[in-house]
Amino acid sequence: MDSGDLAIFAAVARMGSITKAAQYLETVQSNVTQRVRRLEDELGVSLFYRHGRGVSLTATGSQLLPYASRIAQMMDEARRVALDQQQPTGPLSVGSMETTAALRLSGVLVDFATEYPQVDLMLKTGPTHQLIEDVVNRSLEGALVAGPVDHIDLVSEPVVEEELVIVTAPWMQSPAGDRPSWVPGKGEVKIVVFRNGCSYRERLERVLVRQGVTAIRKMELGTLDGILACVRAGIAVTMLPMGIVKPLADEQKVTVHRLAPQEGLVETVFIRRRDAYVSSSLTAFMSTLHRHSTRDYRGIEMESGAVAQV
């Protein structure tokens, strides 16, 4: 079997269309069709069902895909190794949690783009679980996620420790020793969170259970601004890093409720595959990231009335 044919087969399977695969591979459709048919003739089996909407894998094609994808990934990595130079250049795909991107990456991205203009950086934001999967599957070279991450295929490097806080509408104060005002007597709380797979969401649900909440209703939003707008309006509560909400708390637009250290402190880590080649571009990005990771928001002083203790 030709490794190039396998790579083209994997692209067609991923795109679900020969036309889209040709566009992705920057080649003509007839070349893709010919290479797929050559592979099918060599194996003596059909790998795709052809239909009006494109193509779908046969049972044999589904079995072959993981091997073909692995070969395609190895070929791409070999190409990057061969082309990698002392001066960082070319594509670099990394990921980050939405909150980390908002709080930590603006300065990193400015400095990195200024110092390494030949690198084509792609930043993907998403929940921790999805980013871990993307790094494991080699869709991303690395990602900033909530730790700890215990995965046999990944290397995890600490970057910064965040303090997570419950965030509520400004009128939801919690005097010391009293039941939190955001936990009503009936024990039902509405939370506004990122989609499933967000580690902060999971931690918030554990805190709510500890506070005696018996029913958790959820709103899922895709943007940080949308989540904060719902919180400010008193529609729901959420959990976010202190650094994100400090400006709003100082202006008394929200109230933050601090947690015990074992519940509120979380380490943000940078993960990458253990067996993957670390390009000069990724090395430069990690170096820039670590230069910017010295600030710690745990010691932030909050104005009177802006903070309560859970």
Mean predicted confidence (pLDDT) in 91-113: 93
What is the pLDDT, as a whole number, of residue 117? 92
**Residue spans per domain, the chain:** 3-83, 90-160+267-298, 162-265+300-309
What are the tens digits of pLDDT across the range 153-193? 999 999 999 999 999 998 876 544 455 655 655 568 899 99
Helix count and strand count (H, E) for the chain:
11, 12
Q: Reply yes or no on whether the pLDDT at 299 is more than 50.
A: no
Higher-pLDDT residue of 88 and 204 is 204
* Residue pair 118/87 in contact by the 8 Å Cβ criterion: yes
Mean predicted confidence (pLDDT) in 5-29: 86
For residue 298, list its beta bridge partners. none
Q: Reply yes or no on whether the pLDDT at 81 is more than 70.
A: no
What is the pLDDT, as a whole number, of residue 191? 92
Higher-pLDDT residue of 13 and 69 is 13
Of the candidates 55, 70, 72, the one whose C-alpha atom is nearest the C-alpha of residue 4 is 72
What is the pLDDT, as a whole number, of residue 305? 43
User: Which phi and psi angles does 8 have, rounded to 5°?
Assistant: -65, -40
Mean pLDDT score of the chain: 84
What is the pLDDT, as a whole number, of residue 286? 93
162-176, 178-192, 243-257, 273-287: which range is least confident on average?
178-192
Name the CATH code of domain 3-83 (choices 2.40.420.20, 1.10.10.10, 3.50.50.60, 1.20.1630.10). Answer: 1.10.10.10
Higher-pLDDT residue of 1 and 186 is 1
Q: Domain 162-265+300-309 is of which CATH architecture?
A: 3-Layer(aba) Sandwich (3.40)
Higher-pLDDT residue of 261 and 85 is 261
Q: Do domains 90-160+267-298 and 162-265+300-309 have the same CATH topology?
A: yes
Task: Give the homologous superfamily in CATH for domain 90-160+267-298.
Answer: Periplasmic binding protein-like II (3.40.190.10)
Residue 308 vs residues 176, 177, 238, 263: alpha-carbon distances, Å: 8, 11, 15, 15
d(CA 211, CA 16): 48
Of the candidates 51, 35, 55, the one whose C-alpha atom is nearest the C-alpha of residue 43 is 35
What are the tens digits of pLDDT across the range 209-236? 888 887 888 999 988 999 999 999 999 9
pTM of the model: 0.72
